C-alpha cells in the first residue's frame, strides 16, 4: 500500500467516481461524457489492482495508436516501480509478481491465454469487434474470478450499449451500469460546456457530453429531408454566398449558392470529366447568374491554381484550406443548421443522399473526423458547407477581417 501512496494517485471525485469505486459489482459498464475523467479513473483502478490487490491487469484501447499512447503514460507513472518492461510488447512487471499489459482492440485476439484479475476496456464503444468481450476477455477472467471495467463515451446502439442495458437488468447481477455526463466532474469550471452546447448539433452534444446513447449517432446530418424542400430559383436581386468543391475524374466539382439573408440554397451546379478551363467557365456562368458577394473554394492541391485563375478574372474567390482543425467546425455548423431547420436546401437527390450517408469518426484525441463512406462522394456536402461558411463565418479567415 505504501507503494501505491508513493504514486500520488488522484482521488476519485464526487461526481460519480467515488460511488463507482466503492460499488461491489464485478463488471462495471460506465457511459460517461468527455472530460469526466474516465481514463484517469481507469489508471487509479489499475494501480489499486496491481499494488494493493496484487493481481495482473489487462488494459484495452481501441487502436494501436491509442494503446501506444496509454503505454507511454503508464511507463512514465509506473516505470520507476517496475522490475522489467518491454515496450514492444507493452508489458510491465513489478516486484510483487504482478504485471500490466496494454492491448490494442485491433489485435485483441492475441490476448488469449492469460488470467488477469482486472480488465479495463477504455473507450469501449470505439472497439469494432463485438466478440472481443465474450470470446477473449470474459473467458480470461474465469480462473481468478476477475473483474472488468468498461469506460466509454457512447456511440450509438452497439455492443457497448448492449452491455449497458445488461447492467440495468436485475437478471444480470454481476453487471452494474453507470451514466455520468461531463458536467458531473466537479473539477471543471462552471460554464465549461456552454460553447460546445451552442456550437455542436444537439444529438452530438448529448452523446459526447451528456453521455446519452443516440440511435443514429453514426450519422452527421439529422433531418435532411425536413429541410430539403426548395427548387432551383430564378435569379433575383439579393446577397449570396457560393461554395466550391473541386473534382475532375472520379470526384465531382460542385458549386453551391446560398442566399445570405434567408439561408436558402438557391442553385447548384455539379459536373465532372471536363477540363479545368471548362470547369472555371461553368463557375463563372453561375457567378454571373447570382453575383455572390464571396466565393469560398477549397484550396487544397488542385484548388490553388484554379482559385488564382479566377481571382485574375476579378471574381471574389477566397481559399479555404481543409485541415483536421478547419473541417470539423465547417461540417458541424452545417449539421447544426440542418438539425435546427435554420437552412433550406434544394430537393436534390444526390445532395440528399450524400448528406444522409456522411459519417463521423471520433479520434483518440477526442476530436472528430468527417468523411463520406468508403466509395462514396461528399462533393455536394463540402460545397454546401463552404457556401454556408460564407453566410456565418465568411467575414474572417485566419483571424483577418476581409473587406468585401
Distance CA 323, CA 338 (A): 23
Of 268, 246, 247, 249, which Cα lies nearest the Cα of 257? 268
Distance CA 308, CA 363 (A): 34
**Within 13 Å and on the Cβ side, how many CA atoms surround 279?**
24
Of 306, 241, 303, which Cα lies nearest the Cα of 277? 306
Percentages of the chain per state (helix, strand, coil), in multiples of 5: 40, 25, 40
Cα dihedral value 149, 155, 159, 162, nearest 10: 80
Distance CA 128, CA 288 (A): 49
Answer whether 315's CB lies under 8 Å from 293's CB.
no
The pTM for the full model equals: 0.60
DSSP H or E run through 401: strand 400-401
Distance CA 157, CA 84 (A): 41
What domains are defined for the chain? 2-208 (3.40.50.300), 224-396 (3.30.420.240)
**pLDDT in tens for each of the 404 residues of the chain?**
334 445 555 566 665 677 787 788 999 999 999 888 888 889 889 998 999 899 999 999 988 888 999 999 999 989 899 999 999 999 999 999 999 999 988 766 677 778 999 999 999 988 878 888 998 999 999 999 999 999 999 987 788 988 998 898 888 899 999 999 998 888 877 677 887 787 777 878 888 899 998 865 557 888 898 999 999 999 999 999 999 999 866 678 999 999 999 999 999 999 887 788 999 999 999 999 999 999 999 997 778 899 999 999 999 999 999 888 899 999 999 999 998 999 999 999 889 888 887 887 777 666 778 888 766 788 999 999 999 999 987 443 333 323 33
Locate the DSSP E strands across 14-145: 27-32, 57-61, 82-86, 91-94, 99-104, 118-122
CB-based burial, 98-112: b 16+ in 10 Å, e otherwise: bbbbbbbbbebeebe
103: cell is 492491448
Distance CA 389, CA 262 (A): 14
Q: Are strands 396-397 and 82-86 parallel, antiparallel or unpaired?
A: unpaired
Amino acid at each position: 500500500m505504501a507503494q501505491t501512496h508513493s504514486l500520488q494517485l488522484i482521488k476519485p471525485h464526487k461526481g460519480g467516481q467515488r460511488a463507482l469505486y466503492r460499488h461491489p459489482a464485478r463488471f462495471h459498464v460506465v457511459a460517461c461524457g468527455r472530460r469526466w475523467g474516465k481514463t484517469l479513473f481507469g489508471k487509479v483502478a489499475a494501480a489499486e489492482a496491481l499494488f494493493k490487490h496484487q493481481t495482473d491487469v489487462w488494459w484495452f484501447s481501441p487502436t494501436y495508436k491509442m494503446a501506444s499512447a496509454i503505454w507511454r503514460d503508464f511507463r512514465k507513472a509506473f516505470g520507476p516501480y517496475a522490475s522489467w518492461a518491454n515496450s514492444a510488447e507493452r508489458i510491465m512487471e513489478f516486484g510483487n509478481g504482478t504485471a500490466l499489459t496494454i492491448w490494442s482492440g485491433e489485435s485483441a485476439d492475441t490476448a488469449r491465454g492469460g488470467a488477469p484479475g482486472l480488465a479495463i476496456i477504455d473507450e469501449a464503444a470505439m472497439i469494432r469487434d463485438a466478440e472481443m468481450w465474450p470470446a477473449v476477455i470474459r473467458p480470461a477472467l474465469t480462473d481468478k474470478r476477475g473483474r472488468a471495467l468498461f469506460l466509454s463515451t457512447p456511440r450509438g446502439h452497439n455492443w457497448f450499449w448492449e452491455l449497458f442495458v445488461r447492467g440495468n437488468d436485475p437478471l444480470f447481477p454481476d453487471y452494474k451500469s453507470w451514466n455520468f455526463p461531463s458536467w458531473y466532474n466537479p473539477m471543471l469550471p462552471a460554464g465549461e460546456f456552454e460553447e460546445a452546447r451552442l456550437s455542436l448539433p444537439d444529438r452530438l452534444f448529448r452523446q459526447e457530453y451528456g453521455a446519452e446513447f443516440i440511435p443514429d449517432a453514426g450519422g452527421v446530418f439529422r433531418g435532411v429531408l425536413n429541410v430539403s424542400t426548395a427548387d432551383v430559383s430564378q435569379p433575383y436581386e439579393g446577397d449570396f454566398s457560393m461554395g466550391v468543391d473541386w473534382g475532375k475524374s472520379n470526384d465531382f466539382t460542385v458549386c453551391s449558392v446560398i442566399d445570405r439573408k434567408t439561408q436558402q440554397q438557391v442553385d447548384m451546379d455539379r459536373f465532372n470529366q471536363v477540363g479545368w478551363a471548362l470547369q472555371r467557365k461553368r463557375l463563372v456562368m453561375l457567378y454571373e447568374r447570382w453575383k455572390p458577394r464571396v466565393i469560398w473554394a477549397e484550396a487544397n492541391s488542385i484548388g490553388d491554381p484554379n482559385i488564382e485563375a479566377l481571382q485574375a478574372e476579378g471574381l471574389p474567390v477566397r481559399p479555404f484550406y481543409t485541415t483536421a482543425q478547419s473541417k470539423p467546425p465547417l461540417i458541424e455548423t452545417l449539421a447544426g443548421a440542418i438539425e435546427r431547420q435554420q437552412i433550406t436546401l434544394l430537393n436534390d437527390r444526390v445532395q440528399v443522399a450524400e448528406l444522409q450517408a456522411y459519417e463521423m469518426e471520433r479520434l483518440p484525441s477526442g476530436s472528430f473526423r468527417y468523411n463520406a463512406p468508403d466509395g462514396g462522394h461528399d462533393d455536394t456536402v463540402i460545397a454546401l458547407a463552404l457556401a454556408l461558411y460564407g453566410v456565418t463565418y465568411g467575414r474572417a479567415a485566419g483571424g483577418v477581417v476581409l473587406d468585401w
